[in-house]
Structure 1
Amino acid sequence: MQLNTIKPAAGAKHAKRRVGRGIGSGLGKTAGRGHKGQKSRAGGYHKVGFEGGQMPLQRRLPKRGFKSQSLKFNAEINLSDLQALAGEEIDVLTLKATGLVPELAKSVKVILSGSISRKVTLKGVVATKGAKAAIEAAGGSVVEA
């Protein structure tokens, strides 16, 4: 085998269909475009979703909201969950181990819901203004890493 004798396998390549080359070709005259109308003309076509002037489907249907893709990485816990936890130092790993937040969670926020009466130290866990005040009133602290 030499470089000048290499060719594709039989049947691998086929000639491109040539339109508008006379009656005998089977695709002469209108060249497979039919008769008249926008689609038969050179350069004439419509935009995506165009329905001949009728209100397009994507505009007839109502708009629906937005679901954040980062939502699954954020978690919330309340003060009563912290009250029930054993131990004084609480971080994201502790919360994952106890099953209070999902394993996927990257950031955790404590919200002001329920009450806390024991001292806890939050490390790497964010708290809302009200929750932070409640934790500090109970003698605890919030250390944001």
Structure 2
Amino acid sequence: MIMSMLSNLVSIVKKRKTIGRGGSRGGTSGKGNKGQKARSGAHIGVLFEGGQMPLTRRLPKRGFTNAPFKITYEIVNLVQLNTIFDNGAIVTKEALIEKGVIKAGKKALVKVLGNGALDKNLIVHAHAFSKTAAQTISDKGGEVHVIKEK
């Protein structure tokens, strides 16, 4: 390494942009003449319309949401019950969680729908049943128990 052949390192810290007096940006520093955007600390919101009544406040409020009180069901079909459970088994929410049909930790209720065929007689405990599901389970010799707690 020859000391006379060393090149200068590129500056890591960028040189600060000089504005105003003495800089190449002049008196207004590239901000134009006067006005709200020319002031220091100027920040105007995206929805700001220059002081007139914003569109979001000019339009009326509509509707409401009942989302916090919405009752959600974990859906289970007869096909799933037929493939997972043995003949004469008792089907509960805990058993469905154990078998991996529904996810644990959810406060959702269980609803059994009549999609698919059922060959076994099962004792099913759920929060809700469709008419076809309840009819199919009882026709195959099984029992339908509606859980009242919600």
| TM-score between the two structures when normalised by the length of structure 2 | 0.50
Q: Which string of whole-angstrom CA distances, capped at 9 and with x for unpartnered residues, describes residues 105-140 of structure 1?
A: 441000121111110111244211111001111111
Structure 2 residue aligned with 1:141, among 140, 143, 150? 143
Q: What amino acid maps onto 1:130 in structure 2? A: T
Residue 127 (structure 2) pairs with residue 93 (structure 1): no
Instruction: Check the 8 A contact 1:125/1:142 in 2, yes or no.
Output: no
Distance 1:100 1:106 in 2: 13
Q: Which string of whole-angstrom CA distances, capped at 9 and with x for unpartnered residues, describes residues 61-95 of structure 1?
A: xx899583466852111110110122411000000
Paired residues for 1:30-41 under 5 Å: none
Q: What amino acid maps onto 1:113 in structure 2? A: N
Residue 80 (structure 2) pairs with residue 56 (structure 1): no
Q: What amino acid maps onto 2:143 in structure 1? A: S
Instruction: Check the 8 A contact 1:83/1:115 in 2, yes or no.
Output: yes
Paired residues for 1:58-97 under 5 Å: 68-69=67-68, 74-87=73-86, 88-97=89-98
Q: 1:130 to 1:57 in 2, by over 3 A?
A: same
Distance 2:116 2:78 in 1: 5
SS of the residue corresponding to residue 67 of structure 2 reads coil
Q: Which string of whole-angstrom CA distances, capped at 9 and with x for unpartnered residues, describes residues 46-67 of structure 1?
A: xxxxx63x5622566xx89958
SS of the residue corresponding to residue 136 of structure 2 reads helix
SS of the residue corresponding to residue 118 of structure 2 reads coil
Q: 1:105 to 1:55 in 2, by over 3 A?
A: same
Note the aligned Cα RMSD (angstroms): 3.1
Distance 2:118 2:57 in 1: 51
Instruction: Check the 8 A contact 2:112/2:126 in 1, yes or no.
Output: no
Q: How many residues align?
A: 94
SS of the residue corresponding to residue 109 of structure 1 reads strand
Instruction: Check the 8 A contact 1:74/1:106 in 2, yes or no.
Output: yes
Q: What amino acid maps onto 1:96 in structure 2? A: I
Distance 1:112 1:65 in 2: 33
Equivalent residue, structure 2, for 1:127: 129
